[in-house]
Amino acid sequence: MLTPMEKMTPLTPIGADVRESRAKGASSPKESPFGAIFRSAIDNVKETDAEFKESQYLLATGQLDNPAATMIAAYKSQTAVNMLVQLRNKALDAYSELSRINL
């Protein structure tokens, strides 16, 4: 039995989450677009890791019809972690460059 592929959701533009929360009148403290990007990346890592673990469990218990789904979930999880690490590295590089500027 073949399992149909899920439709991928498009990425939201930078700052869209902040604009939506302002439009809704959220009572939470103001979050910068920079913080929203990191929070989104962290949430993405958590979600993809959970999908990978569930896929591994289903494969191990024989409930998964498509074993390639586990490899796809592993690749998605690895890519999400790599993106988060690259975001962190770029942020640290930018911070160190800003700290070297003499005012």
- At 4 the pLDDT is 62
Residue written as token pair 């677009």: 33
Domain ranges of the chain: 34-99
- At 10 the pLDDT is 65
Q: What confidence tens digit (pLDDT) does each residue in 35-54 have?
A: 888 899 999 999 999 999 99
Q: What confidence tens digit (pLDDT) does each residue in 72-84 have?
A: 999 999 999 999 9
Q: What confidence tens digit (pLDDT) does each residue in 9-23 have?
A: 666 665 555 555 555
Q: Are 72 and 58 in contact (CB under 8 A)?
A: no
The H-assigned helical ranges of 2-67 are: 16-24, 33-60
